[in-house]
């Protein structure tokens, strides 16, 4: 075979692989970008404002952490063709099953409220009243699922993922020092002032936003609904890796922007950060507000679907986005009910929104370790996973990550519950 024939053969093979990847990509990118939800954006702005670019290296480390955990859900979904909730019921029985399902529903609903809080706060910067914002969100989310096609839903969700990258131009506009970024990204170090309780809390908060229980349920159900098989696992892994890179890039960009424009300013809300940036640069402030709205919207879309899928799997309802409303009435009814309930709470005058935001962290702490332990055990079940069972090295990496995430997220939950605990 001459060189041209070989090159042509390689080109055809690459082109086919690329087409296959584009067909299977979606769940990984969506779940990872949605991970930068309203709560995540707030955490990154607070981190940047408080410590400048000093924690960029830590954010980079979180990328592989998120990848390794989520990659397991791809394998589990593709091999078992079951969502995470159904897999837990089947493998560990009804007690652990109900615990996971009810805890997921509660955590998701409370997290949804925080997404609506973020979205209303973001659009209030443009003088849009919360009622209008909530109604706009309901319409968008309702319209997305009304087509009865997973593909359409996924493409719209990917569009929102693209909008999430709106922060990237903002980073170029603040003209950061490349040398500073390179140093802070590659050399692990503590910010000036050393290791303090405040730093510890922010590190834990960043981990808390990187791995959330709904992400495990969402990606596995999404892989199943999309119809991925064992042969698609390698593409699912690439999809997840790209998502992990995107999520880290967005987090880094926000930290760089806030580290330069709000250095030393106490920030505990991304919408407040956007307002504070407005006098310095109305364009960057606007980009942050739009990004916050988009993050909340994407988060709410994925979280409500995670719960609906989980309920559908366990109760045996038709639960695919490929079914229309008539074919899967309970699945869509639960999705809409979740959205309406979360949006309405935000509109109640005097609702304890701050308390809800704190409570999310605490209650998620009870579900995350359980979900992660179940994930590891399921991935080690040779009978279920066959040749896709965790290898020794995968176990070493995944168990270390899971142990670290459990320890730190527990400390985060406890420090939310008892603020002076680690003083």
In angstroms, give the least distance from the CB of 380 to other proteins: 8
- Please say whether the beta carbons of 388 and 72 come within 8 A: no
The answer to whether the CB of 365 falls within 8 A of the CB of 334 is no
Which residues from 5-34 bind other proteins, rule CB under 8 A?
none
Only one of the segments 15-23, 61-69, 89-97, 187-195 lies at the binding site for other proteins (rule: CB under 8 A); that segment is 89-97
Of 187 and 417, which CB lies nearer to other proteins in the complex structure? 417
Question: In angstroms, what is the minimal distance from the CB of 372 to other proteins?
Answer: 10
Give the nearest distance from C-beta 396 to other proteins in angstroms: 15
DSSP state of 187: S
Interface pattern 168-187 for other proteins (x via CB under 8 A): --------------------
Q: How far is CA 89 from CA 57, 92, 101, 141, 221, in A?
A: 39, 6, 9, 29, 14
C-beta closer to other proteins: residue 172 or 418: 418
Per-residue DSSP letter, 164? G
Stretch that binds other proteins, among 1-9, 46-54, 157-165, 314-322 (CB under 8 A): 314-322
Nearest Cα to Cα of residue 100 among 342, 389, 306: 306
Task: List the Cα angle 253/257/263 in 5-degree steps.
Answer: 135
Distances (CA, A) of 162 to 28, 69, 91: 14, 23, 37
The SS3 assignment for 196 reads coil
**Got the DSSP string for 311-379?**
HHHHHT----TTS-TTTSHHHHHHHHHHHHHHHHHHHSTT--HHHHHHHHHHHHHHHHHHHHHHHHHHH
- Per-residue b/e over 253-287, b at no fewer than 16 CB within 10 Å? bbbbbbbbbbeeeebebbbbbbbbbbeebeebbbb
Span from 41-49, 57-65, 90-98, 284-292 in contact with other proteins (CB under 8 A): 90-98
CB of 422 to other proteins, least distance (A): 14
User: Rule CB under 8 A: which of 316-345 touch other proteins?
Assistant: 316
Minimal distance, residue 39 CB to other proteins, in Å: 20
Tokens standing for 155? Answer: 């493409």
152 binds other proteins per the rule CB under 8 A? no
Q: Which of 20, 91, 140, 168 binds other proteins (CB under 8 A)?
A: 91
CB 398 to other proteins: min, Å:
13
- Give me the least distance between CB of 154 and other proteins, in Å please: 29
The 274-313 site mask, x for binding other proteins (CB under 8 A), equals ----------------------------------------
Q: How far is the CB of 94 from other proteins (least distance, A)?
A: 4
Token code pair at residue 253: 């960009």
Q: Tell me the torsion sign for CA atoms 237, 111, 212, 123.
A: positive
d(CA 235, CA 228): 10
Please, which residue, 155 or 382, has the CB nearer to other proteins?
382
- The least CB distance from residue 178 to other proteins, in Å, is 45
Query: According to CB under 8 A, which residues from 92 to 151 bind other proteins?
Result: 92-94, 96-97
Site string for other proteins, 377-406 (x = CB under 8 A): xx-xx-xx----------------------
* Using rule CB under 8 A, residue 413 touches other proteins: yes
Dihedral angle, C-alpha 414, 419, 422, 423, nearest 10 ° = -170
Q: How far is CA 230 from the centre of its chain?
A: 24
SS3 content of the chain, % helix, strand, coil (to 5): 80, 0, 20
What residues numbered 342-371 form the site for other proteins, per CB under 8 A? Answer: 362, 365-366, 369-370
| CA 324 – CA 340 distance, rounded (Å) | 20
CB of 193 to other proteins, least distance (A): 30
What is the nearest approach in angstroms of other proteins to the Cβ of residue 195? 25
Nearest to 403 by CA among 423, 384, 364, 375: 375
Residues 391 and 413: their CA atoms lie apart, in Å, by 31
**Count of residues of this chain found to bind other proteins when the rule CB under 8 A is applied:** 29
Among 134, 314, 364, 405, binds other proteins (CB under 8 A): 314
Report the residue number, 99 or 190, with the smaller CB distance to other proteins.
99
DSSP string, 40-65: HHHHHHHHHHHHTTTTHHHHHHHHHH
Near other proteins by CB under 8 A: residue from 131, 265, 333, 417: 417
Binding site for other proteins (CB under 8 A): 89-94, 96-97, 314-316, 362, 365-366, 369-370, 373, 376-378, 380-381, 383-384, 410, 413-414, 417-418
């Amino acid at each position: 075979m001459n060189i041209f024939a070989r090159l042509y053969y390689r080109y055809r093979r690459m082109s086919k692989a690329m087409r296959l990847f584009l067909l299977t990509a979606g769940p990984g990118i969506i779940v990872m970008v949605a991970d930068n939800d309203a709560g995540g954006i707030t955490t990154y702005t607070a981190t940047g404002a408080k410590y400048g670019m000093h924690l960029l290296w830590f954010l980079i480390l979180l990328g592989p952490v998120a990848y390794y955990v989520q990659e397991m859900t791809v394998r589990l979904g593709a091999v078992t063709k079951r969502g995470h909730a159904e897999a837990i019921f089947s493998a560990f029985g009804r007690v652990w099953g109900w615990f996971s399902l009810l805890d997921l529903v509660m955590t998701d609903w409370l997290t949804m409220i925080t997404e609506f809080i973020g979205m209303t706060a973001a659009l209030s910067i443009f003088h849009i009243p919360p009622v209008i914002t909530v109604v706009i969100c309901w319409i968008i989310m309702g319209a997305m699922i009304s087509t009865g096609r997973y593909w359409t839903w996924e493409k719209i969700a990917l569009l929102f993922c693209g909008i999430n990258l709106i922060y990237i131009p903002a980073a170029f506009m603040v003209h950061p020092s490349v040398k500073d970024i390179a140093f802070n990204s590659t050399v692990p170090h503590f910010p000036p002032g050393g290791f303090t309780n405040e730093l510890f809390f922010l590190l834990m908060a960043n981990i808390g936003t990187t791995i959330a229980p709904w992400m495990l349920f969402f990606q596995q159900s999404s892989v199943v609904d999309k119809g991925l098989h064992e042969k698609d696992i390698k593409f699912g892994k690439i999809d997840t890796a790209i998502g992990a890179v995107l999520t880290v890039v967005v987090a880094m960009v926000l930290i760089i922007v806030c580290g330069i424009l709000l250095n030393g300013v106490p920030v505990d809300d991304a919408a407040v950060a956007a307002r504070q940036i407005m006098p310095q640069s109305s364009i960057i402030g606007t980009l942050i507000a739009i990004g916050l709205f988009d993050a909340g919207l994407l988060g709410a879309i994925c979280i409500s679907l995670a719960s609906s899928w989980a309920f559908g799997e366990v109760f045996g309802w038709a639960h695919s986005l490929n079914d229309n409303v008539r074919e899967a009435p309970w699945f869509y009814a639960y999705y809409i009910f979740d959205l309406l309930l979360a949006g309405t709470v935000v509109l109640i005058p005097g609702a304890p929104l701050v308390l809800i935001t704190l409570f999310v962290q605490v209650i998620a702490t009870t579900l995350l370790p359980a979900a992660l332990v179940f994930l590891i055990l399921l991935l080690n079940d040779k009978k279920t996973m066959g040749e896709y069972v965790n290898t020794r090295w995968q176990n070493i990496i995944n168990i270390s990550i899971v142990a670290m995430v459990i320890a730190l997220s527990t400390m985060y939950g406890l420090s939310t519950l008892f603020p002076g605990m680690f003083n």
